[in-house]
Structure formats: structure tokens, C-alpha cells
Amino acid sequence: MPRTASRLLLLTGALAFAALSIRAEKPADQTPVNTDAPPSGIENGRPTLADLKTIGREQSRFKGLAAGNNQPSESASDAETRQANLTQFESTIKPLLEQNCIDCHGPDTVEGNVRIDTLDPNLLTGADTDWWSEVFAAITKGEMPPPDAGELSDDERRRLVDWLSRELHSASIVRHRSGDHSAFRRMTRYEYNYALQDLFGVPWDFARDLPPEAHSEEGFENSSDVLHLSAIHFETSHRIARNTLDRVTATGDKPTTRYWGIAMKQAAQREWSKQDTQIDKLKQEWKDDPEKLTAELDQLWETFRQRPRGAYYKDLCSGRMAKAEWRYNGARYAFAPTDQPVAFPDQDDCVAILPNGSDARLIIELGNQLPDEGTMRVTVRASRVSPTGDGFPSLQLMFGWRASNEGRALVRVSNEDTPVTAGPDQPQLIQWDVPLGEIYPRNSVRKTSPMGATPSPSEYIRLVNSSASPSEIQIDFVHVAAPVYDQWPPPSHRRIFADPENADPENADDEEAVARETLASFMHRAWRRPIDDAEIDRKLKLFAAMRPQCDSFEEAVVEVLATVLSSPQFLYVSNAPRSEPSDESTERSPLDAHALANRLSLFLWCSIPDPELLALADDGRLADGDILASQVQRMLDDPRSERFPKHFVHQWLDMQLLDFLNFKQHVPGFDPLLKEAMQHEPVALFGQMLREDASVLDFIHCDYAMVNERLAKHYGLSGVRGNHFRRVSLDDGFRRGGLLTQAGLLSMNSDWPDSHPLKRAIWLLESILGDPPPPPPPAVPQIDLADPEIAKMTLKERIENHRDHAACMSCHSKIDPWGIAFENYDALGRWRDEVQGKPIDASSELFNHQTLDGMDGLKRFLLQHRQDQFVRSIVSKLATYALGRPLTFADRAEIDAITARVRHNGDGLRTVVETIIQSELFRSI
């Protein structure tokens, strides 16, 4: 879709602008937060940021639209009777355009390739709706006419905006049946993965062999214009389906479980024996001098009581300690399994102490007896070393192997860090269930090389104290069992094949009848719609052909089910209409109930409908507004809805830039824990706002942050302990809150070792305001850092110098001011007051000669004058993601109607989601 066509859906704004000034603030990591600011109302003679949310809402151009009015469904019914208002254009609008616009956009001068005098004023049937949308955006944002060319009076601007708004709205309604609205597409990589997870009830990564997804122009992976099915994709999907069915089904007897029970007393014995050797050596050396022997032994014991670096063993009775050593060669540190269950012994005085940090490693080597599939259950008895303290350390599980000096691997296998809350007197049991088939890579020589040889076939688990602050965890016993099956056959098998105890006795010996029942049930869930007899008969015919070639009934059924999962009926998302529209109809065709269930589940769960949603679709009741609303509430309250923020936020904010961010390890203040926290912060904020139905304006500014301990430390927030994210209130003077000041988003739009105002400005315009700047013209001159005069300049001065070039002025004057407002934040998103001894000047002048004074000024400007633009941008982004297709001009009226209802109902994020789902836009083709 052309850039102008995408911009026209997102551009709205306010009608007045005011000069702003910045409030002097200091974050906690530099000077104490200002606690003397007035609690509410006017601060330093001007409204607070919270007050500006109310002030800006009062200025909304959507305020006059009563909730429920201007609904596209109502307007579409009389689309044929709508007429272009050419009379008002000739009498009022055309003279205003000739007076204010023709000098720069007329026959003599054509700036921006726009000639106002040649645009067709009939927007309902003319070909210039995209250009009129650009005109509308420029006027509402105050870009045109430029201040130097004279000002429109408030009445003139109002008349222009009213006429353009009405005509664009009518044109959108008239054209809503034109063009291609199809969202027919295949499932994305992540949707395919979640669909298989939900079908079989296992949290495995099924899609890792699929190629990565492309991004649409709007930044979304689930857009119909980029989701086509290539031959390679189809072949890979078929292979994944076949392998998946082999893994989730079970034949034969339950596999034998092996057990490891490792007491730290047993593990430490290796190290104690080394110390005992030193003691015996001293005794032998000074056996004839008891006094000297006593002195030497006392001195040696003092060394034994000194804490080693990294993980170590400790005898709580004697106080002696020894480093927890591990070496891969010779299998000297491997523990052998047993076929008999191992009970947890009584608590012992010999423990392993695990400090935080990547250097501390406690490795439990398990040898080469771990199976390829099944669950590895790891249970650890652990506690805090210190029973006092504000926070709790966190424990993490990793899996690894080292075959030789070159061949090795180490991967994290615990999904979340587990807080260790128990004191040493009452330790807690921490358990992880790890699917062995999901660990990649495994040791490739574990089945060919004998234990003790090189390359080593052994594999191990590693326990990590992942806390962000100094802390210690003590462990006295580790239990490992594999493979563990709590049921046999496992639940994933029972989701396909009925439990023999519950099977229909009349069909027990009729394989064809059982196959029909099994296939019909599975196809209904996988294809998300009713299955007719002809479709089942075709699959039964394949089953009959495969049965003689297979050793069992289940094996033949699995071969058929693989074709079900590799069928376009599973891989593609269709949008079938409830009924075929007539040629004369001007209404959008409503989705049938199953297409609506599909669209809803892909939006909120990134997956296929569950049985409850599918049953409502089967009964035809899902289209009922009240039932649909109750399902939305149920789905948003379900843990599967956590997928929605994870994937929408990542695509909306273009966070793949942060994924690729990899500062060198010596960069002070940057580490893997911080990067992980940076990646999760925007998702955590979105999730919190969704749960609370907080105003979407909180994305611009809010008085709280979602942080964990590592991120709080980066921001200078005190009193936050642990790796889990939680809401933390911010004082009035703190320089955080919202998306714009989040460290990860600032870092990904930087150019280490410095910030990058242009990247930050373009990201703001594209992702937040939905107003992407045009691409740069060819042969743009680069900033010449070899010029000594330029090298002396600050970054802001270099940008201003670059903007003085004629080829750069037109674009950069509309980009640079937004990015300069971020300049107090460095490449890691930390606050700074100066660079290389020069004070930061984050003030800039907008295209209309209004001033932005730093981040505070930017937030004030957006909250007071760009609320409509931002809220409409959020609505458009969410609608694009929900529909799985790009928006078009025909959707404009409906996006306006949704935005008006959202603004009328308080701008809540959950309200936005619910309003989109209840809209005709979502419920129709």
C-alpha cells in the first residue's frame, strides 16, 4: 500500500498550538527526586501532565460525535443517496484554498508535488482522495499554511476541517465495498506454533524450523499482504506435522524412568578429599613437631573457611568451604542414575552455596542416560542463606554439555525465574518440568562415545542464581527423574484417541467407525469449522489405503492426521461471509460465526478457537453482541491472552531493533539481565494497562512504571527486589513514565556510543503518531566529521548544520525537532545533563515555530495538542493487527467511528480492544 494511503488512516490532530517550557527534574540516580512539587493542579504556573490529559481531551475533534452516531453500518445503508457537497466547496472552500494555498501549490509553484487547484473536489467519485487526506492532515496538525505564509483564522480553519472531514467520511462510506478487503492468509509462524500447542496441550516450540516472517509496511507480521505459502513453507509444515504427531502420540509400554538423587554432601566429598589430602600431608610432614603441626593445621583450616569465588560447598557445622569445581573430561564429576525412585533425605548440614552472577556455576553432571523425549523433572531443595533482607533471590535452570574444547552448548530451560523465599530452617522445593525433546542442541555423541572418553557424551544441568543484586542461595539436595509421564498414554495422545475405557463399546472392534469418529473430532478442532461427510470420507479412504502398511491402528490414523495439519484448511485463515452478498448490496458482508471465532482467537490468543468458542460458533450464537462481549472478557482473563501483548507490542513498536541490539560486553551498565528487562518493559506496561483498562494516554505519560530489580537499578528506583515485573509508583519529579522514556526503546533507536535523534524521531512519528516521514531524496549529503569545525559541534549543532542544506530542509524541519527532545537520554536510555563537558540542549522548534523543551515539553505538546492523532493511531494499529490486513481508505469512516466511541468512553486500552471487536469492521469481510 502506498505510504500516503497508510498515512491518511492515521493522521488526525488538534487545531491550536502553544509554546511549552521544560520543568527542571532530577532522577533518583543523580540527585534526589523532587518531592516539593505541588501534588496536583498547577505546578510552576502551568498544568501538570495529568491535567493536560483532561485539557487535551476537551479539545478533541471527536468530542462532538455522540457515542453510537456516525456508525459505518448506519451510514452505509444510505450510501447511494450521499452526494458530494460541491456547492460549499465553490462558495467557501475554494476561495480559502486560493487565498492561502495556491501560491505554493498552484500553477506557478508546486511544492511537495501537490497542486491544490487541480484536485477533484468530488471526493465521493474522484481520484484524489489520498491527496485530500494529506491536505486534511496538514491543516489539522497546523503544518499548513506555514507560519511564514500567514495564519488561518480559527473560523477559516474550522470551515476547512469540517468540510474535509465530512467529505472524507462520506467518501469512505461510499467506497467501503470497493477494493479488496480480503484478509485471506496463512497463519504466522507464532500463530502456527500456538495452534499446535493448544491442539495437543504441550508447550513445545513446533515452529523453530519455519523461516522468519517478513514485516508489512505497517510493521506487522500477520498481514495478508506478506503471508503467502511457498513450496518450502508447505514442505516444512508437512514435516513438522508428521514429527509432531509422532511426539504427541504414544504406543507400547510406558518408558522406564531413571532417577538421580544428588546430595551436596556427596558432591562435596570430591572437594573435601582434596582438603583431607592437604591435612594428611601436613600431619606427615610435622608428625615429629606437635606444636608446629597444630599451628600449621590451624592456618590451613583458616584457608578452608575463606569463601571461594563462584559457587562453593560449605559444611555448616565446621564452617569449611571449597569451590564447586567441574571439568568435562574423564566423566569424573558424573552421577549415575538408578531405576528405583530416590526419596528426599533429611536436611543435611553440607550445602552448596550459589551466589548471584554469571561466574557462579553449580553443575550437576548426569552422564549419557537422558532419553531423547519425555519430561525431565528437576527438583531442588533450596533456601536463602540469609533469613533477613528486603528481597528474594531467584533461581534459574540451564542445560548443557561439553564434548571437547570446541564442542559445547548451554541453554536456558526454565521459562521463568523462581523466587527463593524460604529461610534456611525451612527450605522449599523448586520443581521444573523440562521437555527433553525441546532442548536444542543435545550432545550429538551421547549415543556413540563411551563415558570417560573424549569427546565426552555426558550432559548436565546447571543451577544459576539470576538475582540482580548480591545474594546467596543454599541447596542441599537435587533430584532428577527422566522420562516422567504422570499419565500413560500422555494427555496429548488422549486429545486424539479416545480413552479405551470411555470408548463406545459398539464400535470397539470396528476400526473404520473408530477412525471416522477420531478424524471427525480432530478435523473439527483443527479446521475450526463443521466438517461434512464428504471430507471425512476422503480421509477415511486414505486411512483404508494406509492401514495395511502400518503396524497399528494409531499409526495409520497418524498418517492421515498429518495431511489434516498440512492442509490449507489448517494453515490458512479464511474469512467466509455469513451469506453471499448481492451485487446491489452496499453493506459489508458479515463474517460467518466460525470466521468470527477464528478472527477473535487469533487477535486475543494468537491461536485457534478453544472448544467453548467453537461450540458457540457451531450454535450460531457467537454473533450475538452480549455473548461476544462475554467471550472477550473470558479470553482476556485467560492466561493465553498474554500472547497478545507479547506479539502486538513487539510488532507495533518495531522491537526487532532491540532484539538485534548487542553492545560489546565491556560497555558499562549493560548486561544480559538489563537487555532482557528492556525487552519486557513495553510488554509489561501494555499488559498492565489492558488489565486495568487504563487510558491509552498512559503510553505518552503515566505516574508509574513496570520494572524489575535490574531495570529499577538502571532507572535509579530504590526498594525494588526480584526479577519479576511489578507496578512502581513514580514521584512527580521523576523522568520516567510511559513509552517514550523506556530504556529499551531509547537504546534501540541509538547509535552507540551516542544517541540518535533522527532514529528516535522517525520511530516516534511512525510507531506512536502514525505519521511516517517521506523517504530521503537521492544524493543527500552526509555529515562530514572530517571537517574540524563540524567535529567541534554538539550533536544538535551538527543536525542543524545538516538541515541548512536545501535538499535536506523540507524533510528534516519536520523530523529533527521530535528527536532532539530525547537528547537528555543517552544510548542506554540513562538521563544525562551534559556530553563531553557541554550542557545538553534538548529544546527545538517545530515546523510552526512552536517550542519543544526536552522530554517534558514533548509530552506536554502531545497530551495537549496531539491526543486525537495518537488515539486514532492506536486504534488503527490495533485494528490492522486484529484484521490481519492493511487498512484502506474504505476503512476510514469506521476507524473514525471506533475512535470517537473510544474517546467518548475514556480512552481505556481494554475499551479500545472491546470496541474494535464489536465494530462492523471486525465482524465483516
**Does residue 418 contact residue 475 with C-beta atoms inside 8 Å?**
no
Question: Kind and range of the H or E element at 893?
Answer: helix 892-904
Q: Is residue 318 part of a domain?
A: yes
Q: 33 pLDDT exceeds 50?
A: no
Q: Is residue 449 part of a domain?
A: yes
164 HSE (CA, 13 A, CB side): 27
Q: Are residues 199 and 231 in the same domain?
A: yes
> What's the confidence (pLDDT) of residue 458?
97
Helix 49-58 to helix 867-883 angle (10° resolution) is: 80
Question: Kind and range of the H or E element at 157?
Answer: helix 154-174
Please give the torsion angle defined by the CA atoms of residues 532, 534, 536 and 542, in that order, rounded to the nearest 10 degrees.
Answer: -160
At residue 282, what is the residue type? L
Residue pLDDT, tens place only, 901-922:
999 999 999 999 999 999 999 9
Please give the torsion angle defined by the CA atoms of residues 245, 246, 252 and 258, in that order, rounded to the nearest 10 degrees.
Answer: -120
Higher pLDDT, residue 205 or 99: 205
Q: Are residues 336 and 476 in the same domain?
A: yes
**Distance in Å from the first CA to the final CA of the chain:** 19
E strands along 372-437, which residues?
375-384, 394-402, 408-412, 418-419, 428-435
Q: Is residue 469 part of a domain?
A: yes
Q: Is residue 854 part of a domain?
A: no
Q: 753 pLDDT exceeds 70?
A: yes
> What's the confidence (pLDDT) of residue 523?
97
Reduced to 3 DSSP states, what percent helix, strand and coil does the chain have, rounded to the nearest 5? 45, 15, 45
User: In a 3-state reduction of DSSP, which class is residue 248?
Assistant: helix
Q: How confident is the model at residue 9 (pLDDT cuts 50, 70, 90)?
A: very low
Q: How confident is the model at residue 677 (pLDDT cuts 50, 70, 90)?
A: very high
Q: Are residues 474 and 518 in the same domain?
A: no
Q: How confident is the model at residue 539 (pLDDT cuts 50, 70, 90)?
A: very high
Domain end position, chosen among 428, 454, 484: 484
> What's the confidence (pLDDT) of residue 162?
78
> What's the confidence (pLDDT) of residue 119?
83
Q: How many CB atoms sit inside 10 A of residue 62's CB?
A: 20
Q: For residue 619, give the nearest of 650, 594, 656 by alpha carbon.
A: 594
Q: How many CB atoms sit inside 10 A of residue 481's CB?
A: 19
* Ranges 33-37, 93-97, 425-429, 553-557: which has the least confidence: 33-37
Bridge-partner residues for 110, per DSSP? Answer: 105
* Ranges 103-112, 169-178, 792-801, 881-890: which has the least confidence: 792-801
Higher pLDDT, residue 272 or 87: 272
Residues 492, 639: Cα–Cα separation, whole Å: 20
Residues 6+ apart with CB under 8 A from 666: none
Residues 923, 587: Cα–Cα separation, whole Å: 12
The pLDDT mean for the chain works out to 85
**Does residue 13 contact residue 865 with C-beta atoms inside 8 Å?**
yes
> What's the confidence (pLDDT) of residue 435?
97
- Which triple of cell numbers denotes residue 894? 469506521
- Cell 467529505 locates to 167
Q: How confident is the model at residue 663 (pLDDT cuts 50, 70, 90)?
A: low
Is the four-CA dihedral 82, 86, 91, 93 of positive or negative sign? positive
> What's the confidence (pLDDT) of residue 116?
80
> What's the confidence (pLDDT) of residue 426?
94
Residue pLDDT, tens place only, 429-449:
999 999 999 999 999 999 999
Please give the torsion angle defined by the CA atoms of residues 418, 422, 428 and 434, in that order, rounded to the nearest 10 degrees.
Answer: 10
Domain end position, chosen among 573, 601, 632: 573
Q: 235 pLDDT exceeds 80?
A: yes
> What's the confidence (pLDDT) of residue 530?
95
Q: For residue 76, give the nearest of 179, 178, 169, 173 by alpha carbon.
A: 173
* Interval 144-166 mean pLDDT: 74
Q: Are residues 453 and 497 in the same domain?
A: no
Q: Are residues 431 and 569 in the same domain?
A: no
Q: How confident is the model at residue 202 (pLDDT cuts 50, 70, 90)?
A: very high
> What's the confidence (pLDDT) of residue 6?
37
Q: Are residues 297 and 243 in the same domain?
A: no
Residue 800 has phi, psi (to 5 degrees) of -65, -35
Q: 278 pLDDT exceeds 90?
A: yes
Q: For residue 884, give the nearest of 7, 189, 213, 224 by alpha carbon.
A: 224
Higher pLDDT, residue 494 or 77: 494
Q: Is residue 804 part of a domain?
A: no
Residue 478 has phi, psi (to 5 degrees) of -125, 130
User: DSSP letter at 445?
Assistant: T
> What's the confidence (pLDDT) of residue 801?
57
Q: Are residues 398 and 278 in the same domain?
A: yes
Q: Are residues 304 and 444 in the same domain?
A: yes
Residue pLDDT, tens place only, 305-327:
999 999 999 999 999 999 999 99
> What's the confidence (pLDDT) of residue 8?
34
Give the distance between the most distant pair of CA atoms in the chain: 120
**Does residue 227 contact residue 188 with C-beta atoms inside 8 Å?**
yes
Q: Is residue 518 part of a domain?
A: yes
User: In a 3-state reduction of DSSP, which class is residue 434?
Assistant: strand
Q: Are residues 212 and 325 in the same domain?
A: no
> What's the confidence (pLDDT) of residue 160?
80
Residue 427 belongs to domain spanning: 258-484
Q: Are residues 209 and 309 in the same domain?
A: no
* Interval 643-655 mean pLDDT: 97
Number of domains in the chain: 2
Residue count of the chain? 925
Q: Is residue 622 part of a domain?
A: no
**Does residue 229 contact residue 186 with C-beta atoms inside 8 Å?**
yes
Q: How confident is the model at residue 783 (pLDDT cuts 50, 70, 90)?
A: low
* Ranges 187-201, 419-433, 472-486, 770-784: which has the least confidence: 770-784
Residue pLDDT, tens place only, 818-852:
999 999 999 999 999 998 888 999 998 887 778 89
**What percent of the chain is predicted at pLDDT more than 90?**
63
Q: How confident is the model at residue 73 (pLDDT cuts 50, 70, 90)?
A: very low
Domain end position, chosen among 541, 573, 605: 573
Q: Are residues 388 and 334 in the same domain?
A: yes
Q: How confident is the model at residue 788 (pLDDT cuts 50, 70, 90)?
A: low
Q: Is residue 693 part of a domain?
A: no
E strands along 281-386, which residues?
312-315, 321-323, 350-355, 362-367, 375-384
Higher pLDDT, residue 708 or 177: 708
> What region does 219 belong to: left with phi over 0, alpha with psi -120 to 50, or beta?
left
> What's the confidence (pLDDT) of residue 264?
97
> What region does 695 belong to: left with phi over 0, alpha with psi -120 to 50, or beta?
beta
Q: 492 pLDDT exceeds 60?
A: yes
- For residue 397, count CB atoms less than 10 angstroms from its CB and return exposed for 0-12, middle for 13-18, buried for 19 or more: buried
- Which triple of cell numbers denotes residue 333? 564429576
Q: Are residues 478 and 495 in the same domain?
A: no
- Which triple of cell numbers denotes residue 4? 500516503
∠ CA 390-396-401, nearest 5°, is 150
CATH code where residue 479 lies: 2.60.120.260
Higher pLDDT, residue 856 or 147: 856
Please give the torsion angle defined by the CA atoms of residues 367, 371, 375 and 380, in that order, rounded to the nearest 10 degrees.
Answer: -10
User: DSSP letter at 315?
Assistant: E
**Does residue 59 contact residue 867 with C-beta atoms inside 8 Å?**
yes
Residues 666, 28: Cα–Cα separation, whole Å: 25
Residues 127, 782: Cα–Cα separation, whole Å: 38
> What's the confidence (pLDDT) of residue 352?
97
